Amino acid sequence: MKRRNFLKNSGLATAGVLSAPALTSCEDAPASAAQLSAPVVQPIVICTWDFHNASAKAWEILQKGGTALDAVEAGVKVEEDDVNNQTVGTGGRPDRDGNVTLDACIMDHAGQCGAVLALQHIANPISVARKVMEDTPHVMLVGQGAEQFAYEKGFEKVNLLTEKSKAEWLEWKKTSAYKPIINIENHDTIGMLAIDENGHMAGGCTTSGMAYKMAGRVGDSPIIGAGLFVDNEVGGATATGVGEEVVRTVGSFLIVELMRQGKSPQEACEEGVRRIMEKNKDKLDFQIGFIAMNMKGETGSYCIQPGFTYREYSENGHINHPSEHFL
């Protein structure tokens, strides 16, 4: 395994997620749109970080012949429902006023997409995003409008702020000078990409966003093209880390377009990160990561962490990332 490739390929079999591409005849040739959109035999799912339970849930659906869209929704919901995950869904860290506000988006193989931004009191923003996609003429609903829509669709009002996250927030307020802390959580956000047995790709991305953010702040995760992008003729990408930087480069769209131009998912993720680093040579104090997958089921991932300077990057040509994510 290349040092720079922190995707844990060895985890493929144990995770029960099959990765062998069906389009092996395209392996060494630039794939045409027609080739790339041909059905793959074996489904595959990848996600950011070590969210094993989420990818296992998605895989359960895929291996029964379920759709990629159902798989990513059910997969990321596992993290939304995990109160011990303080970066997503229930139990997520609040904004600096103590309100947990959630962001999510979902996109399917046909280019349909839906998103909710700054949604409060609803446990599964990814499912509300899907309802926006399927039941409205819109792509994004925000704040109270999104919440009202969720109630109309039968979602229940819940308290998202757990005692643990509340206690940490109260502690933070004592010394914070009321500033959000970049990457206090060290990692955040589940982004997931899946291809089903019909060769359809879908993606989902969901987060509680930056801890102790300003009220109303929204990051990349619910922004189609930034936190997530899927094009069934090429592939998909999704992001984790400081959303502001991802939005500035329209990161996930960029990576898909780089793959369209012939880059491998790995090359495209590295170039996406490099573009962000180029713009932040003097203040690389944040974390950014991308994962990507093309329609052959080839995957890539790349990430930077605080403490690695542009200088180190440019001299060594790689970043030794301390974390991994798993198929």
Phi, psi of 326 (to 5 degrees): -125, 150
Q: Is 242 in the site for ligand GLY (CB under 6 A)?
A: yes
**Residue with smaller CB distance to ligand GLY, 210 or 303:** 210
Q: Is 220 in the site for ligand GLY (CB under 6 A)?
A: yes
Tracing tokens 């895929």 back to the chain, one arrives at 62
Phi, psi of 243 (to 5 degrees): -60, -30
Q: Is 189 a catalytic residue?
A: yes
> Of the listed 162, 189, 206, 240, which one is catalytic?
189
Rounded to the nearest 10 degrees, the angle between the axes of helix 52-63 and helix 68-80 is 150
Q: Measured from the CB of residue 145, what is the shortest distance to ligand GLY in angstroms?
A: 20
Residue 271 neighbours by CB distance under 10 Å? 15
**Residue with smaller CB distance to ligand GLY, 95 or 108:** 95
**Residue with smaller CB distance to ligand GLY, 217 or 274:** 217
d(CA 291, CA 294): 11
Binding mask 132-171 for ligand GLY (x = CB under 6 A): ----------------------------------------
Q: Is 101 in the site for ligand GLY (CB under 6 A)?
A: no
Closest by CA to 50, choosing from 325, 288, 257, is 325
Closest by CA to 75, choosing from 126, 129, 16, is 126
HEC secondary structure over 166-203: HHHHHHHHHHCCCCCCCCCCCCCCEEEEEECCCCCEEE
Residues 190 to 219: which contact ligand GLY by CB under 6 A?
207, 209-210, 219
**According to CB under 6 A, which one of 79, 108, 188, 257 is a site residue for ligand GLY?**
188
Token output for 62: 């895929």
**Residue with smaller CB distance to ligand GLY, 18 or 246:** 246
Q: Is 85 in the site for ligand GLY (CB under 6 A)?
A: no
Torsion of CA 216, 218, 223, 227, to 10 degrees: -170
**According to CB under 6 A, which one of 221, 252, 266, 287 is a site residue for ligand GLY?**
221
**Residue with smaller CB distance to ligand GLY, 4 or 248:** 248
Q: Is 245 in the site for ligand GLY (CB under 6 A)?
A: no
Q: Is 88 in the site for ligand GLY (CB under 6 A)?
A: no
**According to CB under 6 A, which one of 243, 265, 289, 297 is a site residue for ligand GLY?**
243
Query: What SS3 state is found at 19?
Result: coil
Residues identified as active-site: 189
> Which residues make up the interface to ligand GLY (CB under 6 A)?
188-189, 207, 209-210, 219-221, 240-243
